[in-house]
Structure 1
Amino acid sequence: MNPLTIDDARALLPAFALDALDGAEQEAMLDALQRFPELHAELDTFVKTVHTLGTTETVAPAPDLRERFLHRLANDDVDAVPTTPAPVASASPARVRQQAPVHSKWRRVVPFIALTALAATVVVLVRTQASLRSELDAARTAYTKGQSTIAERDQALAEKEAVLRTLLGGGDALLVVNMGVPNATGPGMQFFWNVKDGRGVLHAFRLPQTAQGRAYQLWLIRDGQPVPSRVFTPDGDGSTTLFDIELPQSTTGVTAVAVTEEPAGGSKLPTTQPFLVGTVSTRSQ
């Protein structure tokens, strides 16, 4: 027989206390008690309970109970209940013990075993409930994470659709302005202006990260004056894409598009020199 685990040994403690185990189980329990000394206190409780139940005096039945029971059987009155009380007071303790049924001790122990089994079942149910609750929490966490991922993908898809609407919906009225520096490793931008719908898309790359409290701002240079537009900051890799930029539905008077570094909330007028400027073609005027 394989060595018992502590849970297996704990389940067999009632039977061990009752000396109801076979030889192999008895040896396995003795081995488990040596390996798990914490079980000794529980075993002592069972042994004391069994001893108490086994030594409790029983009440002797009435002397004429057998005759009355046989009489009712003979008269087919098996459902009748004896009404004559048992003369307990007249029986001496010695006679009570002598007349006690042979298996009275076991009849008293059986309810105890049943209660022990019930307690073990309750323990198993509690542990099962805890395990199921843990699995449920894990499932909820996974579900929430999945919902968040789906929301992020839906957002990304909506952004791509907005970009495509701006780029493809402009047709001949789509104006493209390239902004950059001669150095191929420097920052650069592409500005797409759907004049027909008055919407724009900006794609920037290799932008330096701004200091805390600072951001970049897009400007339209119209009739020689800067007109403020969107404020933005780049992602960790220095790139960003802005979509659904509100723009005029006419390029009249607009000669350039520029980007400056401003306070995070944006400015009404530029506070720094533009570091990216793109010329709007006169053919689009």
Structure 2
Amino acid sequence: MKKMFDVTFCLCFWSLFGVFGVETDVLESVSVTEGDSVTLKNNDTEILRDDGIMWTFGPKQILIAHIKREAKNVINDAADGRFRGRIQLDQTGSLTITDTRTTDSGQYNVTTKSKETLLKIFTMTVYAHLPVPVIISRNSSQCSSSSICVLVCSVVNVTQVTLSWYKGNRLFSSVSVSDLSSTVSLHLELEYQENNIYSCVINNPIINQTKHLNITEVCQTCSEDYTCGYGFTEAVIRLVVSGLVGVAAVAVLVYDVRSKSVGQERREQTTSLK
């Protein structure tokens, strides 16, 4: 029983040491935008004289590049093919990745060739380019007699982002997503007469895109000559009625003119008979 306890204790201690036993100066986080180039620097160049180094990637620590101690040659292995043609390893042991992709995100370990010493751990995150947010009004298809305009700011196909409404420089509301989302949207209600400056911003830890709100373009109020509160059908009825009234007025005018003309003719005939 005691032996089992000793073995369990040793295993747990070894596991904890594997997680927490790494010195903080060995860990480094790197963030880049998709398409950029990044260099993961090896600071311990002295090790190349004695052992050489190797770079591995991902949870399975796939070998992607190494320097042989004997010939000091740069070898690009790229065992899984994902880095083929996009990595370079210089004579200092620093690794450069060009044309970065979101699939390049992950952990990179640089160790001595004999694997006896862990030199550095890089945790890299590659963020996709962000689209410019789109602002629409829910009642923008026709003007509204309401005093409130309902706006929707949205983006599509994004991950690890925050979408926010700002009123001037002050955060008004926000929503965050971590997984890939087909659509992310955020609502805003304001009065048509409001003259504050609003903007919709999408951002991740390193970049952002902003769309400023022009309320006169997005939210349309009704003109004085057209009252939207009546609706389309009632507006047509009002137009037809107005037309009929106009026709009636013209008919009355014509009748009045003809009546006066007939009366004048009769008076002239009466005068001539006398």
TM-score, normalised with respect to structure 1: 0.23
Please report the TM-score for the alignment, with normalisation by the length of structure 2: 0.24
Select the structure with the greater relative contact order (CA < 8 A; seq sep ≥ 6). 2
Higher-helix-fraction structure: 1
